[in-house]
Amino acid sequence: MDQIQDPTPDTEPACSEPASTEHSDAAPQDSTGGAISADQARLILRRVKDPDLNINIVDLGLIYEVHVHGSNVQVDMSLTSPGCPSGPEIMGEAEVQLRTIPGIGDVTMNLVWSPPWTPERIEPRVRAYMGF
């Protein structure tokens, strides 16, 4: 698990809203013949951090669902608010990181607003650390 670096306990997430749930379908194949799973995609997405909070987007609860179809990955994610100025940066970095998976096909990033993101979506350990 990524280490949390210097989030201010009273800091509210800077951006985003809605959410969903996580799930995977089929496992894609990488160039070595191994399966790519939704769990592997989530692990890769942990590399992407909210630039304001320096917390990864998985622990922050921004990743709602990860669907794997063959070698293609579709991610449903949200932001902490609809007006998040870091939204394009976060989503772009998530796509870049997913494309590092050997054998990955198409990567589709879907921004969803329903249900709205709330601090309750933050991983409980991180939420406690942040003072929520």
Q: Is residue 27 part of a domain?
A: no
The SS3 call for residue 125 is helix
Terminal alpha carbon distance of the chain: 20
pLDDT, tens digit, 9 for 90 and up, residues 45-56: 999 999 998 999
Q: Is residue 53 part of a domain?
A: yes
Phi, psi for 96 (deg, rounded to 5) = -60, -45
Q: Is residue 26 part of a domain?
A: no
Q: Is residue 46 part of a domain?
A: yes
pLDDT band at 132 (very low <50, low <70, confident <90, very high): confident
Q: Which domain holds residue 85?
A: 38-126
pLDDT, tens digit, 9 for 90 and up, residues 5-30: 444 334 444 454 333 333 433 333 44
pLDDT, tens digit, 9 for 90 and up, residues 63-90: 999 999 999 999 999 999 999 999 999 9
Looking at the structure of the chain, the number of domains it has is: 1
Q: Is residue 54 part of a domain?
A: yes
Q: At 98, which CATH number?
A: 3.30.300.130
Q: Is residue 66 part of a domain?
A: yes
Q: Is residue 14 part of a domain?
A: no
What whole-number distance in Å separates Cα of residue 97 and Cα of residue 48?
8
Q: What is the pTM of this model?
A: 0.74
Q: Is residue 17 part of a domain?
A: no
pLDDT of residue 2: 42
pLDDT of residue 15: 52
